[in-house]
Structure 1
Amino acid sequence: MSLITGEGFSRLFRTFEHTAFRLEVRDRYDAPYENASLVRFLSTEKDDLPWMRDWLHMIREATESGRRFSRVRVVSVPLTDYSRFGVWCAQFTNGAGEDIRYLEREQADVHDLPNHDYWLFDSSKLIRMHFDDADRFLGGELIEDPATVVQHGYWRDAAWHHAIRRDEFAAE
């Protein structure tokens, strides 16, 4: 299996035409660029999230041009420290134009959602995300089988239907 990484993976976010949807199902991600911010968050120190600036700029530009980013995060309750950090960070990505929603893992299981992360671009390009045992992102696998792409579109719609907006989730 060949994985898309680096510039090839980044290009996906600049070249989609209409929609980019992500389903996140992990309770933790080891992303070296955000680890220092996670430590600051847990110790209640202020942080201006320097690693997030390019992402926020890209979301703003995409939104201004009529393209849409959305995401459903499946989370275990009680939330892990990483998930609490993600809820906090989502206020900034939502502010930039991405619509992030939350779904408790128990509900995801009831609705038979998958246990893997993916991006679905324009309802036609499926990228299944792969991680190692230490929760580090290895790359994305392009899936071209039409039936599999349609199934992931169904899962996107089901997750979206049952998920709640970030601000409502954070208030709970």
Structure 2
Amino acid sequence: MPLSVPTWDELLGSARSTAVHLEMRDAYAVDYESGPFADWRAGHRLDPADQASWWRPWHTLISDAVNRGVVVRRARVVSEPVSEYTRFLYDGTFKNVVAGERVRWLPRRRSSDIALPGNDFWLIDGRLIRWNHFTGDGSSAGGEMSENPAAVKLCAEAFEEVWSRAVPHENYKID
């Protein structure tokens, strides 16, 4: 019987020691006409000092986990030169860092010999996977949970290898 997909509050609220997230797409579906990506494309940049203008419930969720002692790490495998969407992510990553995430970037060409899972994922406490499925255009196709030991091993090993090769956010520069 498949595991039910918990809410993000439930999933990250259940983490006791680690929560790692591997992102491998160069773009995720966004509204090109309105919203944060459209604003960014029009030249609007967030002011890191004006936390009230950009802090969202997600940041509280991460901050709460970190304050409980959970180490939250995010690694992004990206093509270079980076896509416009990756530039958008890069410019907003300071929000993840302020919330307590550790973030690294790995140029895709440096990942060719890593056995990577077919989907982005979160791995909670080295035992529980939340797969993030996407359509071809980057829209969410829902999540799926797994405790399959072989999949957990693949995700854990892939994440650690990506992490060891990746550049910390504060040192990663895009052209």
TM range (shorter): 0.7 to 0.9
**Alpha-carbon separation, structure 2, partners of 1:77 and 1:171:** 9
**Alpha-carbon separation, structure 2, partners of 1:102 and 1:88:** 13
Q: Unaligned stretches of 5+ in structure 1?
A: none
**Alpha-carbon separation, structure 1, partners of 2:144 and 2:59:** 24
CA contact (8 A) 1:4 1:139 kept: no
CA contact (8 A) 2:79 2:108 kept: yes
1:15 corresponds to which letter in structure 2? S
Q: Which has the larger share of helix?
A: 1
CA contact (8 A) 1:73 1:103 kept: yes
RMSD of aligned C-alpha atoms? 2.4
| Matched residue, 2:23 | 24
CA contact (8 A) 1:40 1:47 kept: no
**Alpha-carbon separation, structure 2, partners of 1:40 and 1:148:** 38
Q: Unaligned stretches of 5+ in structure 2?
A: none
CA contact (8 A) 2:66 2:100 kept: yes
| Matched residue, 2:90 | 87
**Alpha-carbon separation, structure 2, partners of 1:27 and 1:115:** 14
Structure 2 counterparts to residues 1-172 of structure 1, below 5 A: 8-31=7-30, 36-47=35-46, 53-170=56-173
Identity, in percent, stands at 29
CA contact (8 A) 1:127 1:141 kept: yes
Paired residue secondary structure (1:78) = coil
1:162 Cα deviation after fit: 0.4
- What per-residue deviation string (whole Å, max 9, x for no partner) do you get for residues 110-145 of structure 1? 333334211100000012211112211122211222
Structure 1-normalised TM-score? 0.86
My pick for the range that moved more, 141-150 or 110-119, is 110-119
Q: Kindly tell me: are residues 104 and 119 of structure 1, through their superposed partners in 2, closer, same or farther at Cα, counting changes over 3 Å?
A: same
Structure 2-normalised TM-score? 0.85
Paired residue secondary structure (2:16) = coil
